[in-house]
Amino acid sequence: MTPDPALCAALRADLTAAGYTAGAARAAWGEQADDAIRHGLAGPARAALAGRTDALAVLCRALFLAEAFPAHVLDTALPRTGSAGLIALRLARPDGALVRPVATVRPQELEADGGAQHWWIAADPDEAVVSGPLGTGHVLGVGGASLTLAGLQPSSAVGRVLDVGTGCGIQALRARLSADRVVATDTSIRALEYTRLNALLNGVDGIEVRRGSLFEPVAGEQFDRVVSNPPFVVTPRVAGVPTYEYRDGGLTGDELIAAFVRGVGAVLAPAGTAHLLGNWEYREGEDGLDRVQQWVAASNIPLDAWIVERELLAPLAYAELWVRDGGTAPGSGGYAELVEAWLDDFAARSVTAIGFGYLLLRRPASGVPTLARYERVTRPVRDGLGAHVEAALAVHDALEALDEAGLAASVLVVAADVTEARHHLPGAEAPSVIELHQGGAFGRVIEVDPALAALVGACDGDLAVGPLVDAIAELLEVDAAALRADVLPRVRDLLFTGFLRFA
């Protein structure tokens, strides 16, 4: 079903006129209630807005918190759309003397392309407003993973982008900011309907929806960029365990992500990149990142790969996380049985832990991969890593063209967000530990020796790396050639990770 464009435009005008923004909603119910919402509790926000019938409060109560109202109250708050328009858009239904929302329409702000981007996102009501377990066909709104992936998307202009597993369409909307066209796919008809609705509601064209799994809907086509927050959750394949479309790809273990990695090269244009989130299993005697490396190697199209593991969970913690995510609370009926089903499933494959992280894959324009980086970065990071990731790829390509002599002839500067920390034992003149701290990007902290610390400190855009290393070798009374051989590979890594930059 295609939503009525005129009704979507009317609703957009009503939401704009009422000032229904993320900031206005937070201000309306207050800081404590807003924090409660982030923890899945809607009661404080409802209490804060109780009795208010101004347009903003009514929209917060009806469209954010899914509260039912008499038709005339909604007609006043939404003069162009009216309660009949909400019903026609399948966002609400009649319920006796009331009109009851069956979807949420929530304001969403996102930092993108150097500024704040505002959208309204329609989706199914979440656990904050639904009492009990969610339906298996639930279409998720914008959550933490959605924001993480949106922030990982690069902002450079491209022609075509593929959004695999689009859900409510948030990644497609984000991709359209820099793409001429976006194809958004999902196995869920309901999800595709929400994506159409959200594109129309926000006045965004150029997004095409197609139904199907993984790359089936675009077989034979190529894209400049692929983004995906796929249904990667490892779910037991046993009776009694609900399979939620938004998080469960229907395969055993981590096979969904494995299939994505093995198959994405076929839909990437040369130099095209894929950006996704995923889980991977650690099995007895087998490291999770090694498993991902095997998936990359199994691709029929050679791929560059940069995999960043952000979190590692034990089987019990993973099971409890996703049982609660489905709306089954600890202590409630069925909770223990569901957790035990997860643990039995993990035991059957000798799973010892589950990793979560970011996957960046690229089809090399030359056909020959040059990047294979598999790492663990568990420090908290800010959203909006897309620019850093894109810059790191550009630096990697520049470094591939530089031999050691070329790197030694390069003039470098220290990135503006880098600081140094020195730790001394009591009474000692020389530091026992020297660390470089990165304020942005992945917030890395690396330990360096005095020679590398001196080199980084001297990179001010004046002298090239080679003469600086020679001067440091003389100061430390060490062999200059040996110091170059030791330092230059680490300089390459500092450039890739963003501690240093080409002047």
Q: What pLDDT digit, counting tens, does each position of 46-60 carry?
A: 999 998 989 999 999
Q: Is 456:441 a contact under the CB 8 Å cutoff? A: no
- pLDDT(92) > 70: yes
- Reported confidence tier of residue 2, pLDDT bands at 50, 70, 90: confident
Average pLDDT over residues 244-270: 93
pLDDT tens digits, one per residue of 127-150: 777 766 778 888 989 988 999 999
- pLDDT(113) > 90: no
- Reported confidence tier of residue 416, pLDDT bands at 50, 70, 90: very high
Write down the mean pLDDT value for the chain: 94
What domains are defined for the chain? 5-102 (no CATH), 131-398 (3.40.50.150), 402-502 (no CATH)
At residue 403, φ and ψ (nearest 5 deg) are -80, -175
CA geometry: angle 53, 59, 60, nearest 5 deg: 95
Say what percent of the chain tops pLDDT 70: 99
Structure tokens at 205: 């064209």
- pLDDT(250) > 70: yes
Structure tokens at 94: 């009649």
Average pLDDT over residues 226-255: 90
- Reported confidence tier of residue 111, pLDDT bands at 50, 70, 90: confident
Residue 207 CB-density burial (10 A; 0-12 exposed, 13-18 middle, 19+ buried): buried
| Beta strand segments in 19-103, E | 69-70, 92-95, 98-101
- pLDDT(312) > 90: yes
- Reported confidence tier of residue 254, pLDDT bands at 50, 70, 90: very high
* Cα-Cα-Cα-Cα dihedral sign, residues 226, 231, 232, 237: negative
pLDDT tens digits, one per residue of 456-466: 999 999 999 99
Span between the terminal Cα atoms of the chain, in Å: 54
Query: Alpha helix (H) ranges present in 153-217?
Result: 170-176, 189-201
Q: Is 215:169 a contact under the CB 8 Å cutoff? A: no
- Reported confidence tier of residue 114, pLDDT bands at 50, 70, 90: low
